[in-house]
């Protein structure tokens, strides 16, 4: 009997992943990863859970334990707090300092869930590891899940071919509603549990208060890039991303204002009127940290730059320095620090991190 170690998060998806694997005849054990310590990491501001008797990480562990006890499987527990800090959270803070828009969930998958977790699972004698991600492996290739609204291949785009070996995604063939139905049928405590949101393993926070623990606020001017006149004051460039329109606190404008750029040197936030203003549009970008999970190197494919964004047709240019230039037809709000994820139909073949954004073969000067 093949042994599978399931990453048990305390949520409904990993709970049902374990059920499916048991029903398929695997020997199943769970492994709970503790990746964040709110008290040790100084996470006091913006963390209302610290006013409660138990923090969210311990609540999740208790839920994972209850599920495993209900299913009659063993639950192991491992502490990756330092590894998460060094490989994910420091990256997150460094990117914010650069004025970029990072995606820590992608790095968490790359360095924690499919690296340190796999190492620990092998110590436990695992033939396979499994998670509750909405994704599939079809003929050895990472592919989109059946539930297109929940598909999480975007967050798995930095995984290598080696990391995806002997990985199972048991719920990739199910809709979310089916997952909850199975959990209810088994009487699991996680059946109606709210999906986790916020930063990976850190959870929901008052983002502004949370970041005050690690990065100092520095107010600055909000400039209308069309007139170059000051229209407001921002509370720190790290709190804003390209295309954002909520939370700008700008009054008296003729139309909705959108963030279109940042000047890190002078601490300026640039805005412009209208959702379709020209300052939000680019036609190419350069990628760093490029990863492919296949030997294929296509020139024409589709890509997405945000998780719930539609796919866009793109053309790739492979540069001698290992970077890739991505050419496309006028896409809004492509942002340095974001992931550009590659697809061939239903297959997710990798991606990279946006380093520089261009229009008409010129770097957009107000995007730093």
Give DSSP secondary structure letters for 126-137: -SEEE---S-EE
Start-end of H helices in the chain: 12-23, 56-71, 81-84, 90-97, 104-108, 117-123, 176-185, 207-211
Q: Packing angle between helix 56-71 and helix 12-23, nearest 10 degrees?
A: 20
Q: Are 341 and 310 in contact (CB under 8 A)?
A: no
Tell me, rounded to whole angstroms, the distance of Cα 58 from its chain centroid. 22
Question: In angstroms, rounded to a whole number, what is the distance separating the alpha carbons of residues 205 and 196?
Answer: 12
Paired tokens of 13: 């998806």
Catalytic residues: 108, 200
Tokens of 365: 């000067």
- What's the rounded Cα separation, in Å, for the pair 256 and 275? 7
Q: How many residues does the chain have?
A: 368
Say if CB 133 and CB 152 are below 8 A apart.
Answer: yes
Question: CA-CA distance, 132 to 203, in Å (whole number)?
Answer: 17
Helix (H, G, I), strand (E, B) or coil at 241: coil
């Amino acid at each position: 009997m093949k042994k599978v170690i399931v990453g048990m998060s305390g949520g409904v998806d990993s709970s049902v992943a374990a059920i499916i694997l048991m029903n398929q005849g695997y020997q199943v054990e769970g492994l709970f990863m503790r990746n964040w310590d709110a008290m040790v990491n100084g996470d006091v501001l913006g963390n209302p859970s610290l006013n409660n008797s138990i923090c969210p990480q311990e609540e999740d562990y208790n839920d994972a334990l209850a599920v495993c006890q209900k299913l009659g499987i063993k639950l192991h527990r491992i502490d990756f707090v330092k590894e998460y800090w060094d490989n994910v959270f420091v990256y997150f803070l460094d990117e914010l300092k650069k004025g970029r828009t990072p995606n820590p969930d992608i790095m968490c998958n790359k360095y924690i869930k499919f690296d340190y977790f796999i190492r620990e699972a092998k110590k436990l004698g695992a033939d396979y590891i499994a998670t509750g991600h909405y994704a599939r492996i079809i003929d050895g290739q990472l592919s989109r899940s059946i539930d297109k609204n929940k598909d999480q291949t975007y967050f798995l785009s930095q995984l290598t071919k080696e990391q995806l070996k002997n990985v199972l995604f048991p719920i990739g063939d199910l809709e979310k509603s089916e997952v909850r139905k199975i959990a209810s049928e088994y009487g699991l405590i996680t059946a109606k549990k709210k999906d986790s949101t916020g930063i990976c393993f850190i959870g929901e926070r008052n983002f502004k208060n949370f970041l005050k623990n690690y990065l100092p606020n520095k107010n600055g001017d909000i400039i209308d890039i069309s007139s170059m006149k000051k229209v407001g004051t921002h509370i720190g460039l790290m709190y804003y991303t390209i295309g954002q329109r909520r939370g700008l606190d700008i009054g008296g404008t003729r139309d909705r204002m959108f963030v279109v750029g940042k000047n890190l040197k002078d601490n300026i936030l640039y805005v412009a009127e209208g959702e379709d203003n020209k300052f939000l549009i680019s036609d190419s970008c350069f990628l760093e940290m490029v990863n492919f999970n296949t030997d294929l190197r296509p020139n024409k494919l589709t890509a997405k730059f945000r998780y719930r964004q539609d796919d866009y047709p793109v053309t790739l240019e492979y540069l001698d320095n290992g970077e890739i230039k991505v050419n496309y037809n006028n896409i809004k709000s492509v942002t340095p620090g974001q992931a550009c994820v590659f697809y061939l139909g239903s297959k997710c073949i990798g991606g990279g991190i946006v380093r520089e954004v261009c229009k008409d073969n010129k770097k957009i000067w107000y995007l730093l």
